[in-house]
Amino acid sequence: MKLLFIDDEQTFLKYISKRLALDGFTVKTTFSGEEGVEAAAREDFDVAVVDLKMPGIDGIEVQKRLKELQPLLPCIVLTGYGSVENALESGKYNAFKFLSKPVDMDTLVETIQAAYEYRKEQEKLAAGSSSESSEGAGRDGAVKKAFKKFRKLYGVDK
């Protein structure tokens, strides 16, 4: 499973990514919201874990941009500043779950796995409603998806 982990606390991020790698996850780490969005524009991820409070663009804005780039990407919001207001704001962008720091590793791993299962269910639903069934649709669809990501990243789409 391929994770995108975005957090400005570098020591915490290095520790958590090593722990997740030991559990068999492939982890891409970024230290800012901007870096996380750029990474999502370049490659697909199965689940994102996003810190809420970061310099530059915050976790809520990151979620919004990630959803534009990868609509089925579940986002787990992780923060040391947990509040009902923040959870509600994150919910606007369909945060899969809102976890407070310090987070228990078992809880984090279980939540990531649940988010991945949810994503697989959403992909099945999306595939069932897709009308593209021609033989070359997979390759053409990937090219169109990448083109759309770049258009949104550079503000060409409205």
pLDDT in tens, 81-136: 655 555 555 555 568 988 888 889 999 999 999 999 999 999 998 887 764 544 44
Q: Residue 30's pLDDT is what?
A: 97
Q: What is the mean pLDDT of residues 21-26?
A: 96
Rounded to the nearest integer, the mean pLDDT of the chain is 83
The CATH class of the 2-128 domain is alpha beta
Band (pLDDT 50/70/90 cuts) for residue 52 is confident
pLDDT exceeds cutoff 80 at 33: yes
Angle between helices 137-153 and 59-69 (to 10 degrees): 150
Whether the CB-CB separation of 86 and 98 falls below 8 Å is answered with yes
Q: Which of 67, 14, 12 is nearest to 45 (CA)?
A: 67
Q: How many CB atoms lie within 10 A of CB 58?
A: 17
Cis peptide upstream of residue 55 (ω within 30 degrees of 0):
no
Q: Encode pLDDT of 135-145 as tens digits.
A: 444 445 566 66
pLDDT exceeds cutoff 50 at 47: yes
